[in-house]
Amino acid sequence: MLNLTSEQIADGLQLHTVNEDKFKTNLINIYFKRPLIPEEVTYNALLPMVLQRGTKHHKTSQELAKKLDYLYGSSLNGDVGKKGERQIILFSLNTVGLKYIDDKNLLEDCMKLMNEILFDTLIEGEGFKEEYVAQEKLNLESRIKGRLNDKNRYAYDRCIEEMCRNEKFHLYEYGILEDIPQINGKNLLNHYRNIIETSPIDIVVVGSLQHQQVKEYITNSLKFNQKEIIKIEDDSFISHERPIHEVDEKMEINQGKLSLGYRTNLSYQDPLYPALMVYSSILGGGPHSKLFLKVREERSLCYYIYSKLEKFKSLMMISSGIEVDKANETKTVVQQQIDEMKDGKITDHEMTNGKKALITAIEALGDSAGAMAEYTYSQIVGNHFINPDELIEKINSVRIEDVVMVAKKVQLDTVYFLKGLAEEGGNI
């Protein structure tokens, strides 16, 4: 059970505290929510990288690192991600629990440093320090190009890009390579000011701190300057209303990557969503799953295979690594497992193992402050909060007929196949 307290402390600014004594640290995550749109996705990705390079009072990364070391080895990091069609800019502060040290000013000092990062930035002339911007542009370029280094993830992402090619969700959270050259210190600073003034902000705190105590630290130390808060639209859902989209791509690889994208036609707010979680777990959620046992173990058609839900877009992805000449056979066996579930060919043993895998993962949230914070924020973003214990109850109550009902809604939308340059066969 998450001991959660939530409060709106200003227009567009929400504070959420999860009181938990088991951790030796206090974690403070500050989330800026933005629309996932081409016009700003690359700026948003670059921004936390530049802000961490220096502040008005700590002008270099070395000075910031020295300050954090002085604050009992605290850590402060910025990054971006996406949750559905929302891009999230995150700044995370992790510091030792106050009961373990003899310094009652630690948290206040840490929050003041966070305030420097966010609101007392290093500005030269009319923009951010151009040297830092140029260096971080190169780092961002390397990160985007580096997607190719992980072929498994690359194929998964490319399937989503093709499947959602006319939707905002296709955008990569770290931006668009071609947009990097146009960014400079001046226009990035202008964008930063817009972010600070207009973004809905959520602060999630996990640790032994009391809600009122955290609120006082935040209101005293963080100088938010919000004005006209933008409204972030809910995710768009598209049902399968078109022929299956098939894409082949060639690259210098030894192992083919077959990714299948499905529309589940079920919102995460739907009462049947826990049944969809069980469905995906039974189908491809681990060594207990139909895909693992039938496609990998019995047929030896793949090196790995799994299914995963993209919660906010109501998608299910199946990803596998295969020999190129086994593509058609793999696809056939996968479809057989899906058809079996539609026909209700699901055993009590499969239901038990599918639920157990999900519940184990949910229970593991309590082992990590970061995982608890992310779970909490994901529920907030979706405007549909389910406590982990409640979610476990809902999963345990799922019946076979619920899973069959879900199975009949799931429809194949996109087939993406990544294969070697020398391969000619194996087309889907």
- Evaluate if residue 422 carries a pLDDT over 70: no
pLDDT for 242: 75
pLDDT for 252: 86
Is residue 341 within 8 A of residue 276, CB to CB? The reply is no
- Evaluate if residue 233 carries a pLDDT over 50: yes
* CA–CA dist 143, 134 (Å, integer): 14
- Evaluate if residue 119 carries a pLDDT over 90: yes
Q: Which two tokens stand for residue 371?
A: 């995982």
pLDDT for 426: 41
pLDDT tens digits for range 174-196:
999 999 999 999 999 999 999 99
Structural domains of the chain sorted by starting position, each given as residue range(s) with its CATH number in brackets: 4-221 (3.30.830.10), 245-420 (3.30.830.10)
What lies within 8 Å, CB to CB, of 368 at 6+ separation is none
Q: What percent of the chain has pLDDT over 70?
A: 97
What lies within 8 Å, CB to CB, of 295 at 6+ separation is 301, 302, 305, 320, 330, 333, 334, 337
- Evaluate if residue 236 carries a pLDDT over 80: no
pLDDT for 288: 94
- Evaluate if residue 342 carries a pLDDT over 50: yes
Mean pLDDT taken over the chain: 93
Average the pLDDT over each of 327-341, 362-376, 413-427 and give the range with the smallest value: 413-427
Identify the sign of the CA torsion 99, 104, 106, 111.
positive
Average pLDDT over residues 58-66: 96
Average pLDDT over residues 93-100: 88
Q: Which two tokens stand for residue 73?
A: 């080895």
Average the pLDDT over each of 47-56, 59-68, 217-226, 307-316 and give the range with the smallest value: 217-226
Q: Model pTM?
A: 0.93
Q: What percent of the chain has pLDDT over 90?
A: 84
Which band of pLDDT confidence, cut at 50, 70 and 90, is reported for residue 234?
confident
Average pLDDT over residues 286-315: 94
Q: Which two tokens stand for residue 83?
A: 């949750």
pLDDT for 304: 94
pLDDT for 126: 95
Average pLDDT over residues 123-150: 96
Q: Which two tokens stand for residue 132?
A: 């830092």
Average pLDDT over residues 150-158: 94
